[in-house]
Structure 1
Amino acid sequence: MKISTKGRYGLTIMIELAKKHGEGPTSLKSIAQTNDLSEHYLEQLIAPLRNAGLVKSIRGAYGGYILGKEPTKITAGDIIRVLEGPISPVEGIEDEEPAKRELWMRIRDAVKDVLDNTTLEDLASHTDTGDSDAYMFYI
């Protein structure tokens, strides 16, 4: 399974909103500038996140976006499913021979477990210690 820029940048948006949770709305422009991303692309990603109730838009001169739920209630899996679709390492698992089907299902379940047990709070509060293994997930 390969996560596209939709999933990666969507996670970036959500982590930035979680970091500013409780401080009021954050503009996509500021998120784009902070992370050196295309504001236009982020605008395309925010709509499905808003439709799923993960973010809320605030209109007006000081408007922007806020999280739709507490950062502890939103998982990486919620975000990836909205932007990427179902989590599956291969398509057509049901058509595979039993041994391979079992392998693909175990991989799928391991990835789901990591994504569904990692909250936005976990991601937003993570600080880089310089140790590349400090926040490594092993499947």
Structure 2
Amino acid sequence: MELSCKCEYAVLALLSLVDHYPQGEPLRIRQIAAQQHIPDRYLEQLLAILRRSGLVCSQRGARGGYLLAREPWKITLLEIINCIEGRDPQSNALPQTGLTTEKAVVQELWQEADQAASKILKNCTLQDLCDRRDAKKQIDLMYYI
């Protein structure tokens, strides 16, 4: 199980938006791309997907850009990944017809692993990720002092 580059970029872009959420100030694509080292054109496509799914909203004008559409503690990583990957959260069931015993056992185990990963991602929000990042930065800072 790997996090696709597409999902990683989406999460990184959203983390940039979380940092500006308390001020309510939108970020431009150029700013997010520079902060997170994401190609502008690719980021533009990802933000369009996130906007259509209601995770971010856009603001036009000279002071325009992108904002989180909801509070960071209400957006889960599972929601982000499902949005970007185009997966339906309800469609995790595997077809069980015509399988050998070995294939059925492997598929059952894979489904258990997928459910465990989904549970973790469902319980982790953007705010949790920011808190982890900030704690890690604090530890790294204290180490070098």
- Answering whether residue 46 of structure 2 is matched by residue 45 of structure 1, we say yes
Q: Which residue of 1 aligns with 2:106?
A: 100
- Answering whether residue 10 of structure 2 is matched by residue 4 of structure 1, we say no
Larger Rg: 2
Using the alignment, how far apart are the partners of 1:80 and 1:46 within structure 2?
Answer: 13
List runs of 5+ in structure 1 lacking aligned partners. 131-139
Using the alignment, how far apart are the partners of 2:16 and 2:61 within structure 1?
Answer: 20
Using the alignment, how far apart are the partners of 2:58 and 2:34 within structure 1?
Answer: 19
Using the alignment, how far apart are the partners of 2:35 and 2:45 within structure 1?
Answer: 18
Q: List aligned pairs for 1:19-58, cutoff 5 A.
A: 19-23=19-23, 24-58=25-59
CA contact (8 A) 1:81 1:87 kept: yes
Instruction: Name the Cα RMSD after superposition.
Output: 2.1
Moved more, 17-26 or 113-122: 17-26
Using the alignment, how far apart are the partners of 1:58 and 1:92 within structure 2?
Answer: 39
SS at structure 1 position matched to 2:95: helix
- The 1:87–1:102 alpha-carbon spacing in structure 2 relative to 1, beyond 3 Å, is farther
Offset, 1:113: 0.8
Between the two proteins, the alignment pairs up a number of residues equal to 128
TM-score between the two structures when normalised by the length of structure 1: 0.83
Q: Which residue of 2 aligns with 1:65?
A: 66
TM-score between the two structures when normalised by the length of structure 2: 0.80
**Higher RCO structure, 1 or 2 (CA under 8 Å, sep 6+):** 1
Using the alignment, how far apart are the partners of 2:3 and 2:54 within structure 1?
Answer: 21
CA contact (8 A) 2:13 2:36 kept: no
CA contact (8 A) 1:57 1:66 kept: yes
Moved more, 28-37 or 103-112: 28-37
Moved more, 100-109 or 49-58: 100-109
Using the alignment, how far apart are the partners of 2:64 and 2:130 within structure 1?
Answer: 22
CA contact (8 A) 1:58 1:65 kept: yes
Using the alignment, how far apart are the partners of 2:46 and 2:40 within structure 1?
Answer: 10
Using the alignment, how far apart are the partners of 1:110 and 1:34 within structure 2?
Answer: 32
Using the alignment, how far apart are the partners of 2:30 and 2:129 within structure 1?
Answer: 21
List runs of 5+ in structure 2 lacking aligned partners. 141-145
CA contact (8 A) 1:87 1:112 kept: no
